Amino acid sequence: MASLALMCHEPGSSPPIAPVAGGAVEHHHLVLSSADGTRFSAFEALAGRPDGPAVVVMPDVRGLHSFYEELALRLAEHDYTAVAIDYFGRTTALGIRDDSFDHWSHVEQTTIETITSDVAAAVAHLRSSRPDRPVFTLGFCFGGSASWHQAASGHGLAGSIGFYGNPDRPGFPTGARSVIDRIPDMDCHILGLMGGDDPGIPTDLIDRFRDALDAAGIVSDIVVYPGAPHSFFDRRAADFAEASADAWERVLAFLAANG
Protein backbone atom coordinates (compact mmCIF):
# COMPACT_ATOMS: atom_id res chain seq x y z
CA MET A 1 0.00 0.00 0.00
CA ALA A 2 2.93 2.35 0.55
CA SER A 3 3.20 2.90 -3.20
CA LEU A 4 -0.38 4.21 -3.31
CA ALA A 5 0.16 7.38 -1.27
CA LEU A 6 2.84 9.98 -0.82
CA MET A 7 4.28 11.20 2.46
CA CYS A 8 2.68 14.60 2.85
CA HIS A 9 5.42 16.24 4.90
CA GLU A 10 9.00 15.56 5.85
CA PRO A 11 9.92 14.85 9.47
CA GLY A 12 10.15 18.06 11.43
CA SER A 13 7.97 20.02 9.01
CA SER A 14 5.37 22.50 10.18
CA PRO A 15 2.42 24.31 8.62
CA PRO A 16 3.28 27.40 6.56
CA ILE A 17 1.22 29.65 8.83
CA ALA A 18 2.66 32.33 11.07
CA PRO A 19 1.41 32.24 14.65
CA VAL A 20 -0.94 35.07 15.57
CA ALA A 21 1.09 37.77 17.34
CA GLY A 22 0.40 37.70 21.04
CA GLY A 23 -1.80 34.64 20.70
CA ALA A 24 -1.97 32.27 23.65
CA VAL A 25 -3.99 29.10 23.14
CA GLU A 26 -4.90 26.55 25.77
CA HIS A 27 -4.14 23.05 24.48
CA HIS A 28 -3.73 19.50 25.71
CA HIS A 29 -3.41 15.89 24.66
CA LEU A 30 -6.44 13.74 25.37
CA VAL A 31 -7.81 10.25 24.81
CA LEU A 32 -11.15 9.77 23.05
CA SER A 33 -13.26 6.61 22.84
CA SER A 34 -15.03 5.29 19.76
CA ALA A 35 -18.36 3.48 19.79
CA ASP A 36 -16.56 0.11 19.63
CA GLY A 37 -14.66 0.93 22.83
CA THR A 38 -11.39 1.81 21.12
CA ARG A 39 -9.39 4.51 22.91
CA PHE A 40 -7.27 6.71 20.66
CA SER A 41 -4.99 9.70 21.02
CA ALA A 42 -5.96 13.24 20.09
CA PHE A 43 -4.74 16.81 20.56
CA GLU A 44 -7.10 19.68 21.31
CA ALA A 45 -6.48 23.42 20.94
CA LEU A 46 -9.19 25.58 22.50
CA ALA A 47 -10.50 28.77 20.96
CA GLY A 48 -11.75 31.74 22.93
CA ARG A 49 -15.35 30.95 21.97
CA PRO A 50 -16.03 27.70 23.84
CA ASP A 51 -19.09 26.78 21.74
CA GLY A 52 -18.11 28.38 18.42
CA PRO A 53 -17.41 26.47 15.20
CA ALA A 54 -14.87 23.66 15.54
CA VAL A 55 -12.65 21.51 13.33
CA VAL A 56 -11.64 17.85 13.34
CA VAL A 57 -8.13 17.73 11.85
CA MET A 58 -7.44 14.53 9.90
CA PRO A 59 -3.70 13.89 9.42
CA ASP A 60 -1.82 12.25 6.60
CA VAL A 61 -0.65 8.63 6.79
CA ARG A 62 1.51 9.32 9.85
CA GLY A 63 -1.50 9.79 12.08
CA LEU A 64 -1.27 12.25 14.95
CA HIS A 65 1.94 14.20 14.35
CA SER A 66 3.38 17.52 15.49
CA PHE A 67 2.51 19.10 12.11
CA TYR A 68 -1.18 18.61 12.85
CA GLU A 69 -0.91 19.63 16.47
CA GLU A 70 0.60 22.92 15.33
CA LEU A 71 -2.14 23.29 12.72
CA ALA A 72 -4.73 22.87 15.48
CA LEU A 73 -3.03 25.69 17.39
CA ARG A 74 -3.18 28.00 14.36
CA LEU A 75 -6.90 27.25 13.93
CA ALA A 76 -7.57 28.01 17.59
CA GLU A 77 -5.73 31.31 17.24
CA HIS A 78 -8.35 32.16 14.61
CA ASP A 79 -11.13 31.21 17.06
CA TYR A 80 -11.81 27.64 15.87
CA THR A 81 -11.39 24.96 18.50
CA ALA A 82 -9.60 22.07 16.79
CA VAL A 83 -9.10 18.40 17.63
CA ALA A 84 -6.42 16.54 15.67
CA ILE A 85 -6.99 12.78 15.80
CA ASP A 86 -4.90 9.65 15.50
CA TYR A 87 -5.99 6.70 13.33
CA PHE A 88 -4.12 3.90 15.07
CA GLY A 89 -5.76 3.36 18.46
CA ARG A 90 -6.60 -0.24 17.53
CA THR A 91 -3.08 -1.23 16.50
CA THR A 92 -0.55 0.64 18.65
CA ALA A 93 -0.13 2.21 22.06
CA LEU A 94 -1.56 5.55 23.06
CA GLY A 95 0.72 8.53 23.45
CA ILE A 96 3.25 10.65 21.59
CA ARG A 97 5.41 8.97 18.91
CA ASP A 98 8.58 10.10 17.21
CA ASP A 99 9.40 10.08 13.49
CA SER A 100 10.79 6.54 13.63
CA PHE A 101 7.23 5.19 13.97
CA ASP A 102 6.44 2.65 11.22
CA HIS A 103 3.13 4.18 10.22
CA TRP A 104 2.57 2.10 7.07
CA SER A 105 2.00 -1.15 8.92
CA HIS A 106 -0.77 0.62 10.82
CA VAL A 107 -2.26 2.47 7.83
CA GLU A 108 -2.75 -0.91 6.19
CA GLN A 109 -4.98 -1.95 9.12
CA THR A 110 -7.27 1.08 9.02
CA THR A 111 -10.77 0.77 7.56
CA ILE A 112 -13.27 3.37 6.47
CA GLU A 113 -15.56 2.18 9.27
CA THR A 114 -12.97 2.65 12.03
CA ILE A 115 -11.90 6.07 10.76
CA THR A 116 -15.51 7.18 10.53
CA SER A 117 -16.16 5.90 14.05
CA ASP A 118 -13.17 7.82 15.39
CA VAL A 119 -14.30 11.00 13.64
CA ALA A 120 -17.75 10.50 15.16
CA ALA A 121 -16.14 10.37 18.61
CA ALA A 122 -14.25 13.60 17.93
CA VAL A 123 -17.41 15.30 16.66
CA ALA A 124 -19.32 14.12 19.73
CA HIS A 125 -16.57 15.47 21.98
CA LEU A 126 -16.72 18.86 20.27
CA ARG A 127 -20.51 18.92 20.56
CA SER A 128 -20.67 17.74 24.15
CA SER A 129 -21.82 21.15 25.41
CA ARG A 130 -23.68 22.26 22.27
CA PRO A 131 -25.36 19.57 20.13
CA ASP A 132 -25.84 21.91 17.17
CA ARG A 133 -22.27 23.20 17.16
CA PRO A 134 -20.95 23.63 13.59
CA VAL A 135 -18.14 21.14 13.05
CA PHE A 136 -15.88 20.77 10.02
CA THR A 137 -13.35 18.16 8.93
CA LEU A 138 -9.99 19.23 7.50
CA GLY A 139 -7.61 16.61 6.14
CA PHE A 140 -4.41 16.13 4.15
CA CYS A 141 -3.59 13.44 1.54
CA PHE A 142 -4.89 10.20 3.14
CA GLY A 143 -6.76 12.47 5.54
CA GLY A 144 -7.93 14.71 2.69
CA SER A 145 -9.93 12.00 0.99
CA ALA A 146 -10.97 10.65 4.40
CA SER A 147 -12.26 14.13 5.24
CA TRP A 148 -14.45 14.17 2.12
CA HIS A 149 -15.72 10.70 3.04
CA GLN A 150 -16.99 12.18 6.30
CA ALA A 151 -19.28 14.51 4.34
CA ALA A 152 -21.21 11.37 3.37
CA SER A 153 -21.07 9.68 6.78
CA GLY A 154 -23.98 11.25 8.65
CA HIS A 155 -22.06 13.49 11.07
CA GLY A 156 -24.07 16.56 10.13
CA LEU A 157 -20.94 18.51 9.25
CA ALA A 158 -20.91 22.20 8.42
CA GLY A 159 -18.31 21.55 5.72
CA SER A 160 -15.47 19.25 4.65
CA ILE A 161 -12.02 20.37 3.51
CA GLY A 162 -9.37 18.26 1.81
CA PHE A 163 -5.82 19.11 0.77
CA TYR A 164 -4.62 16.91 -2.12
CA GLY A 165 -6.90 14.00 -1.32
CA ASN A 166 -7.49 11.44 -4.05
CA PRO A 167 -11.21 11.42 -4.93
CA ASP A 168 -11.04 8.11 -6.80
CA ARG A 169 -9.11 5.57 -4.73
CA PRO A 170 -11.48 2.78 -3.69
CA GLY A 171 -10.15 0.45 -1.03
CA PHE A 172 -7.91 3.03 0.66
CA PRO A 173 -8.61 2.82 3.54
CA THR A 174 -9.88 -0.75 3.49
CA GLY A 175 -13.55 -1.02 2.68
CA ALA A 176 -13.86 2.48 1.22
CA ARG A 177 -15.69 3.23 -1.97
CA SER A 178 -14.25 6.13 -3.93
CA VAL A 179 -15.10 9.62 -2.76
CA ILE A 180 -16.71 10.29 -6.14
CA ASP A 181 -19.01 7.30 -5.66
CA ARG A 182 -20.17 8.75 -2.33
CA ILE A 183 -21.03 12.21 -3.60
CA PRO A 184 -24.80 11.48 -3.74
CA ASP A 185 -24.72 10.95 0.05
CA MET A 186 -22.84 14.15 0.90
CA ASP A 187 -24.73 16.69 2.99
CA CYS A 188 -22.35 19.65 3.34
CA HIS A 189 -20.20 22.02 1.34
CA ILE A 190 -16.82 20.83 0.03
CA LEU A 191 -13.48 22.59 -0.32
CA GLY A 192 -10.62 20.95 -2.22
CA LEU A 193 -7.09 22.38 -2.44
CA MET A 194 -5.04 20.54 -5.03
CA GLY A 195 -1.59 20.64 -6.60
CA GLY A 196 -1.59 21.09 -10.35
CA ASP A 197 1.65 19.10 -10.63
CA ASP A 198 0.65 16.16 -8.44
CA PRO A 199 1.44 13.00 -10.44
CA GLY A 200 -0.84 10.88 -8.26
CA ILE A 201 -3.89 13.10 -8.77
CA PRO A 202 -3.95 14.33 -12.40
CA THR A 203 -5.97 17.39 -13.32
CA ASP A 204 -8.44 15.38 -15.40
CA LEU A 205 -9.37 13.46 -12.24
CA ILE A 206 -9.77 16.74 -10.35
CA ASP A 207 -12.02 18.00 -13.14
CA ARG A 208 -14.10 14.82 -12.90
CA PHE A 209 -14.46 15.32 -9.15
CA ARG A 210 -15.57 18.92 -9.61
CA ASP A 211 -18.03 17.98 -12.34
CA ALA A 212 -19.52 15.18 -10.24
CA LEU A 213 -20.03 17.53 -7.30
CA ASP A 214 -21.69 20.08 -9.56
CA ALA A 215 -23.94 17.45 -11.13
CA ALA A 216 -25.09 16.33 -7.67
CA GLY A 217 -25.83 19.90 -6.58
CA ILE A 218 -23.12 19.88 -3.89
CA VAL A 219 -21.77 23.38 -3.29
CA SER A 220 -18.03 23.13 -3.70
CA ASP A 221 -14.84 25.01 -4.43
CA ILE A 222 -12.13 22.82 -5.97
CA VAL A 223 -8.98 24.88 -6.36
CA VAL A 224 -5.94 23.78 -8.39
CA TYR A 225 -2.59 25.52 -7.93
CA PRO A 226 -0.67 25.32 -11.23
CA GLY A 227 2.81 23.87 -10.83
CA ALA A 228 2.29 22.99 -7.16
CA PRO A 229 3.19 19.44 -6.13
CA HIS A 230 1.58 17.07 -3.71
CA SER A 231 2.10 18.38 -0.14
CA PHE A 232 2.75 21.95 -1.25
CA PHE A 233 1.32 23.21 2.06
CA ASP A 234 4.57 22.99 3.98
CA ARG A 235 6.72 25.76 5.41
CA ARG A 236 9.83 24.13 3.92
CA ALA A 237 8.43 24.45 0.39
CA ALA A 238 9.35 28.10 -0.07
CA ASP A 239 8.75 27.85 -3.81
CA PHE A 240 5.04 27.33 -3.09
CA ALA A 241 4.60 29.90 -0.36
CA GLU A 242 2.10 31.87 -2.45
CA ALA A 243 -0.08 28.81 -3.04
CA SER A 244 0.12 27.90 0.66
CA ALA A 245 -0.87 31.40 1.74
CA ASP A 246 -3.82 31.44 -0.64
CA ALA A 247 -4.93 27.98 0.49
CA TRP A 248 -4.89 29.03 4.15
CA GLU A 249 -6.95 32.12 3.38
CA ARG A 250 -9.45 29.93 1.54
CA VAL A 251 -9.67 27.59 4.52
CA LEU A 252 -10.42 30.48 6.86
CA ALA A 253 -12.95 31.95 4.43
CA PHE A 254 -14.69 28.58 4.04
CA LEU A 255 -14.91 28.14 7.80
CA ALA A 256 -16.29 31.65 8.26
CA ALA A 257 -18.84 31.31 5.45
CA ASN A 258 -20.21 27.95 6.61
CA GLY A 259 -19.85 28.15 10.39
pLDDT at 3: 36
Distance, in Å, from the CA atom of 180 to the CA atom of 168, rounded to the nearest integer, reads: 6
- Predicted pLDDT at 200: 95
CB atoms within 10 A of CB 74: 23
Q: Alpha carbon 203 to chain centroid distance?
A: 21
**pLDDT(119) > 90:** yes
Least confident of 22-31, 46-55, 67-76: 22-31
CATH topology of domain 24-258: Rossmann fold (3.40.50)
Instruction: Encode pLDDT of 71-116 as tens digits.
Output: 999 999 999 999 999 999 898 889 888 877 888 888 899 999 999 9
Give the single-character DSSP code of 131: T
Amino acid at 200: G
Rounded Cα gap, residues 42 and 20, in angstroms: 23
Task: Give the pLDDT mean for 14-35.
Answer: 86
Angle at 69 (CA atoms; ends 195, 39), nearest 5 degrees: 110
Q: Is it the case that residue 60 has pLDDT exceeding 50?
A: yes
